[in-house]
Amino acid sequence: MVIATSPIDPSFTFAASRKRARTGFLRHALRLRRVLLAVVLIVLVIVPIDLAYGLFDLFYSVERPPRTHPVTVVCILFGLAATLAHRPFAKTTQIEFALWGGVVLGVLVQPIVAMWLGYRWPDVPLGAMGSNTATSLVLLAVGQMLRLKTANTGFYLISAALFLPAVGLNGVLIGNHNFFGEMSLLTALGILGLAGANVVGFVRHRSIRLLVLDSMPGRLLRRHIALWLSLAIVVPVSLRVVGIGDSYGFSFIYTAQMTTVLLGILYFGLRYSDMLEKSRFLECKLLRDVETDLLTGASSRQAAHSFFNEQGWRGPMAVILLDLDHFKAVNDTFGHAVGDEALRFTYGSLREGLRLNDMVARWGGEEFLILIPMAAGIDVQARADTLRRRIEEASKANKDLPSLTASFGVVISEPGTFDQLDPLIEQADAALYRAKRKGRNTVEMAAPHGGGKGNAKAA
């Protein structure tokens, strides 16, 4: 049995497009998260080498270059373990909570540990954990710990943790000690990578979802941010090379300017992306409404015509028109609410008895149209009779509905014989009326050109 999703049936296309969009943005989010965590791992590997040999001393504009303190390394390591333990779309677990609590504890005991390390190894330049580093780590840890209760507060705190290391990195690139202070280049990169990976972990948040969405707005926004990042790196390095970035005032103005530009890109980009995404959603919803019968959930006439136009030339297609017998009596006796439920029940019975690539449309009133792309060996008459018996037997088993029967008219279309659905509907309708005249609850066959007929009587 061939199982495939119809390209026209809106009940499948809309859900499939939503699933593809979700899969796309989740894939981008996980890829970005892995890159940021890889940066953190590289930083942790390089830190001991930098402490021993001063690999990055040339980057600093001071005689005594800052170093990544061992306590900072431990805090970043705890944060990395907690981040790796976190699952996308999930809240912070107790293990993660404990690891982030270890980060806060490390920040609190750092002064005592620094004094002990200085006493134990006075000649080793271990550096110090500055206020900016401590603040960023606390914001990051508290943000993840608050995620259990208030996800939005956690998101904003973790986003704020990106600011201070970004300013420190900017200071290192410009060569202004007032900006990086005691924060080393490796510390800034490590905290940026860790905070960035945890921000991306909020994949359900509207801002992150729009940023990593696999769509044109998402790609456009990512390109804007990539351009900003390139300017944020190239411009300060260039200023440092020509020697005009040393003044405190100039560095402050430049940092404020780049921050403002980034916030502008994020704000207007996210607003624009959100607008396009809502427009796309409304367009899909409108298409779904146009191609779906709102009462039963079956496809509409328009969807049936589109399905035939797209699939009819590929191979033989069975066109089955069915009508519920004595349906007016159902409405008159039991009321229109029961009649509506009977229509929904009929569609459900038909849908369950067909393949996914078969079309079921409500043709009008109590009439339904079934389009079956045929493969070799399919007995359409037997298939229609199975559906007829399915409606009859299932309705008898349903205590909330009266017993239902249906008459069927069937015609088979060969490729190239008809380029429109309407002539086939006329032949199927004629066969349906023959079934009605012969006592109802019957399947009548019609030849593609209107000749020949057969029937399958009800048992």
**Is residue 445 a contact partner of residue 413, using CB atoms and an 8 Å limit?**
no
- Give yes or no: 393 in active site: no
Residue 63 buriedness (CB in 10 A; 0-12 / 13-18 / 19+): exposed
Dihedral sign (CA 284, 286, 291, 297): positive
Residues composing the chain: 459
Q: Is 195 helix (H, G, I), strand (E, B) or coil?
A: helix
Residue 86 CB partners (closer than 8 Å, separation 6+): 92, 93, 96, 198, 201
**Phi and psi at residue 318, to the nearest 5°:** -85, 130
Query: What CA–CA distance (Å, rounded) separates 369 from 359?
Result: 8
Catalytic residue among 96, 366, 392, 444: 366
Rg (CA), the chain: 34
Q: CB count, 10 Å around CB of 294?
A: 9
Residue 223 buriedness (CB in 10 A; 0-12 / 13-18 / 19+): exposed
Instruction: Write the Ramachandran bin of 127: left for phi over 0, alpha for psi from -120 to 50, otherwise beta.
Output: left
User: How many Å separate Cα 238 from the centre of its chain?
Assistant: 40
Residue 126, token pair as written in the block: 């271990």
End-to-end Cα spacing for the chain: 27
**Is residue 110 a contact partner of residue 134, using CB atoms and an 8 Å limit?**
yes
- Among the residues of 291-379, which ranges form H helices? 301-311, 327-334, 336-352
Tell me which residues are annotated as active site. Answer: 366
